[in-house]
Structure 1
């Protein structure tokens, strides 16, 4: 009988039994062992999502990602499965939410309007624009602006299968190229993308850069970031939303400039 919580060595044996012998009970045991990863990732992603999004649905999407990770993971490379699976689980949840069209059309329209406002004003002023300037441009009060940020916070999750821009067929996934491939055009585009991203990040406010760093590099949840920065979770959510809108607007503008110069 297979242990449900084997040691590290037993895990290796399970991977061998599944990958080399295709023994289904070994696969089932691996999935059971790593199910807590699904709860962990789905729990973190549930923070900031509307209450209408069921935690059971998130866990269901995540479980599909875990199964996919077990199928595709190459244990012989010596990598950490937990890290690999976490990204697969997160991607599966995002894709599941996208396919479910869980964001109302009105919210997506607000997000697009704000993104365009950031893009136009920061291109005009060549600096980070203030909340007051965005509010004035949109002809709304600052309180209404803050509420818009809160409303669209659920749209700042993106999938690598989404197009970089709505009118493009190129997806974020297309940018993930094998590092060993010797492709000069890719290297040039990669350098430009890094430069563009660095310039875009420089235009973020100090608090926005801190939120981005803690969320994407330190892997903290929004509630954990709120504790670190001594701010409310809603304020952290707003800072995250503004940072993503600024970055998307800047990267979109830099991409247009690239093609105009070629």
Structure 2
């Protein structure tokens, strides 16, 4: 099929031309049609990343994810390609970041310290702990604690948004279940993990709940959330980090209880 004829095809016909006839011109048009997904996903991930991470590199890896999505997508199943492509693009970018080992060990250690501190203090007091209590526990000033939160912000980018199943939109936020697990009790685990997440969200401060809701459910970027809440982007980043680390602590505690009871 020549390029002029391919350019006249509608959306469904483009998929048919590429998948059934192997028409490279149709594939090229599909890539161009969905490039906005790469721009959107790479833009969201770029917020809070170190300056040494090039936005151009993020986009380049995202394009590879988009091409992979177009190659593997089964258009006959009636699924939303945008959702599938978003996870593929996001996954390609995150894989490139992980392979580049862009997070220093010191930052990973700080994230683990904060997560453990939230877990232990909130288990001890059975309530949401303040920044002051966290600072005292970690033996740092509140200013240093806020700086730590800013540093570990890059560690929380993919904590709740990673897809559990390919080609679908379920994430840890919605399922919280290991799809590869063969244990027949996995449904019970899923129930308790959901319960743990609900309880964990319930312990967040109102601002933290708002950030999580706007980011993961309303699909706003951190900069957009900053405008909505009339706070600085750095403050939103800190609130996001605290929320994610609290939730991770809650889920980690739940996993330990499940393992202990097995």
TM range (shorter): 0.7 to 0.9
Q: Distance in 1 between matches of 2:3 and 2:206?
A: 51
- Are residues 88 and 195 of structure 1, via their aligned partners in 2, closer, same or farther at CA, if it must alter by over 3 Å? same
- SS at 2:231 equivalent: coil
Question: Please, what TM-score do these two structures have when normalized by structure 1?
Answer: 0.87
Is 2:35 aligned against 1:2?
no
Report Cα offsets for 1:76-106 as digits up to 9, x if no partner: 2223222221121112111111111111111
- SS at 1:127 equivalent: coil
How many Å apart are 1:6 and its aligned residue?
5.6
- SS at 1:212 equivalent: helix
Runs of 5+ consecutive residues of structure 1 not aligned to the other structure: 163-171
Residue 166 (structure 1) aligns with: none
Residue 57 (structure 1) aligns with: 57
Residue 175 (structure 1) aligns with: 177
- Are residues 76 and 144 of structure 1, via their aligned partners in 2, closer, same or farther at CA, if it must alter by over 3 Å? same
Give RMSD over aligned pairs: 2.6
Asked if 1 retains the 8 angstrom alpha-carbon contact of 2:6 and 2:14, the reply is no
Is 2:202 aligned against 1:202?
yes
Matches within 5 A, 1:9-158: 10-158=10-158
Question: Please, what TM-score do these two structures have when normalized by structure 2?
Answer: 0.87
Asked if 2 retains the 8 angstrom alpha-carbon contact of 1:208 and 1:242, the reply is yes
Q: Deviating runs (4+, > 6 A) in structure 1?
A: none
How many Å apart are 1:174 and its aligned residue?
9.4
Q: Distance in 1 between matches of 2:36 and 2:6?
A: 12
Residue 250 (structure 1) aligns with: 250
Report Cα offsets for 1:142-189 as digits up to 9, x if no partner: 011011111111111237599xxxxxxxxx7993649xxxx8523212
- Are residues 237 and 174 of structure 1, via their aligned partners in 2, closer, same or farther at CA, if it must alter by over 3 Å? closer
Report Cα offsets for 1:186-213 as digits up to 9, x if no partner: 3212111111111111111111011001
Q: Distance in 1 between matches of 2:45 and 2:74?
A: 26
- SS at 1:245 equivalent: helix
Q: Distance in 2 between matches of 1:74 and 1:130?
A: 49
